A = this chain, B = another copy of it.
Amino acid sequence: MLYLIGLGLGDATDITVKGLQAVKSCSRVYLEAYTSILTVGKEALEEYYGKQLILADRDLVEQGADEILKDADMTDVAFLVVGDPFGATTHSDLVLRAVNAGIPYKVIHNASIMNAVGCCGLQLYNFGETVSLVFWTETWRPESFYDKICKNRAAGLHTLCLLDIKVKEQSIENMMRGKKIYEPPRFMTVAQAADQLIQIIQRRREEGEELGLLTAETICSMHANVLVNANETLRQLLSCDLSAPLHSLVVTGQLHPLEVDMLRLNAEPNSLQHLHMIDSSTYMS
């Protein structure tokens, strides 16, 4: 049996009881380690489970799936994923390979950022399409996420922005030389995300292009590991300094009075006036 087990979003104890029982019964346990991270590392999980973990990087999952699935028709193998196994990153490819090899599989769900973000008090059924913000390079500065956010806002919907993660990435130079030397991991902060969004707004304004409904004064909700959250305008986020990764960002759409009350609970003092303005006018900042 192949178990795909979600670890949730906090520490070692955020695994479900069912998931923990499965981990303990498996002969091999892989930890997917390139699309997300917990607040604790591999060693803390190993100690908690009483099991050795095998780190599964992108190479292993994408090219070494046979190794992961080896003998899984006769023994139990666990594949651990931060959040939910079918959350932001799905592992459909591994499932399809298992099925084709005649190996049964079982999914043990857990919270992922796709639902836990609701803790900021914004209603999940008022969210539109989720977007991904990628690190810009000198030559690649996509703006499609800005347009998607504006489209959601035009429909009154909030937008969850997943922020880029670069783990075990090679520099172009090392890649071209075939050297398996990896850059240090990078996790996009909300400040970096706000900076890219505001640069798009500025560029479009300067070049006379049409602007969407996302401005520097739009109220946003920012999260670090879904444990800390604070609500400010996009402009204020530029100077925000949240703790350790992972960060995520929600751009609000039309706000219900109850949503405004919830946002106020964690509002930065400077943005209270913006939330107050929402309250007294249109519910659309």
Contact = CB atoms under 8 A, between A and B. Distances in A.
Contact of A8 (B10, B11, B109, B258): B109
B84 A118 contact: yes
A86 interface: yes
Interface string A150-166: 01000101000010000
A129 B128 CA distance: 5
**Dominant secondary structure at the A interface:** mixed
Interface in A17-35: 17-18, 20-21
Nearest to A6: B111
> How extensive is the interface on chain A, given as a class?
35 or more
A115 B92 contact: no
Copies in the complex: 2
Contacts of A66: none
A115 B86 contact: yes
Interface of A: 6, 8-11, 13-18, 20-21, 84-88, 90, 92-93, 95-96, 99, 107-112, 114-116, 118-119, 121, 123-132, 151, 155, 157, 162, 226, 258-259, 261-262, 265
